[in-house]
Amino acid sequence: MNTWIFLRGLTRESRHWGHFIEQFQRALPGSQVIALDLPGNGQLNQERSPVRVQDMVVHCRAQLAARNIKPPYHVLAMSLGAMVAVAWAHAYPQEVASNVLINTSMRPFSPFYQRLRPGNYGALLKLALLGAAPEVWERNVLHMTSNRVDESVLPLWLALRRTRPVSRASALRQLLAAARFRAPAVKPLAPTLVLASEQDHLVSVECSRALARHWQCALRVHTSAGHDLPLDDGPWVASQVRDWLMEGTASSRYHRRHEEEPSPTSNPLPLRQRPDVRCLLRPVACRPGHGRARPDARGADALAVQRLCAGPC
C-alpha cells in the first residue's frame, strides 16, 4: 500500500480537499491518503505558523511520527503545500518517494508578478484591510481560485472558518514563508509531476512551466480549470497522477526484468541473489530512477548495480 500525504495551500486546511480524496482513492485503489494540516490551519489553528517553509516540514514529520506512519511517502500538494513538499524532498530525500506539485510558484524560477497575478492585488488588500465578513471573504476566495465557481462549497467553507478560524497573524506569517522560500537549484531526487491550470487567475501557469523546465520534470496542463485544480476537476488530477505512476512503473519493471536476466558469460544467479552485488547494494539508499553504486564498485559490477537500483529495491 502506498502512503500519500496531501498538503493544502495558504490558510486552507485538510477538509478543504472536499470530495477529491474519494476521487483520488477511486483512481488509485489501495492508496492510503493522509491529509495533514500546516501549523496555524485546521486542527492546528491554535499553533503559531512558522515563517520558514523548512519549519513546516518539521511539523509534518512530527505529525506522521506521532501517528506511527512511516516513510516512504508520496506527496501531493498545492500552492504553499507544494513548497513544503519540495523542501521535504530536499532535506529528507530518503522519505519522499514522489512529489505531485499543483499550481505552485517558487523563487528563483518566477518573478513576483507571476507568483501572484497583479489583478488580485486590489481585491486582496481590500479584504485584508477592511476585515471583510466571512461570507464575503470566502466568496471572493472561491471566485479567485475556481473557474467552475460551484457555490455549493461555500456552506462547508464557512463552517470551517467558524469552527477553526485562521488568525490574521497566521495568514501573514504563511504569506511571508511562501514569499521567502527559495527552491533548490538542483533537481529533486524524488520523481516529480507538475500539474498546472492554463486559466489560473491567481498564479500564472508560467510558474509551473518554469519549474518543470528547470528541473526537467513532467508537466501536465489543464486547459480550463482555475487555481484550485482539485476542486474544479478532481478526476482529471487523479487520472494524471495514475497515468504518470503507471508510466514510471512500466519503465521500472522493464529495466528490472532485463537486468535480472543472466547472460551466457555472467554469473548465472540473478543480480539480487549474488552475494557480491548484495554487499554493494546494502549501504545504498535506492530511489526509483536514481540508482547509485558505491565508489568501490568496479567495471561491469558498478554498471549492473547502478542499473539495478533504477527500479524499486
Average pLDDT on 29-48 reads: 96
Of all residues in the chain, what percent carry a pLDDT higher than 90? 66
Three-class SS state of 54: helix
Provide the pLDDT for residue 121: 82
Domain residue limits, the chain? 3-251, 260-308
**63-77, 168-182, 247-261: which has the minimum mean pLDDT?**
247-261
Q: Is the pLDDT of residue 175 over 80?
A: yes
Cβ 312 vs Cβ 252: under 8 Å: yes
Instruction: Report the length, in residues, of the chain.
Output: 313
Cβ 14 vs Cβ 35: under 8 Å: yes
- Burial (CB count <10 Å: 0-12, 13-18, 19+), residue 214: middle
129 or 24, greater pLDDT: 24
> For residue 234, what are the CA distances in angstroms to 222, 265, 298?
11, 52, 48
pLDDT digits (tens, 9 = 90+) for 257-309: 344 434 333 344 443 444 443 333 334 344 444 444 333 443 433 333 333 33
- Burial (CB count <10 Å: 0-12, 13-18, 19+), residue 74: buried
Q: What is the CA radius of gyration of the chain?
A: 21
- Burial (CB count <10 Å: 0-12, 13-18, 19+), residue 186: exposed
pLDDT digits (tens, 9 = 90+) for 207-243: 999 999 999 999 999 999 999 999 999 999 999 999 9
Q: Is the pLDDT of residue 109 over 90?
A: yes
Give the CATH fold of the 3-251 domain.
Answer: Rossmann fold (3.40.50)
Average of per-residue pLDDT values in the chain = 83
Q: With cut-offs at 50, 70 and 90, classify the pLDDT of residue 130.
A: low
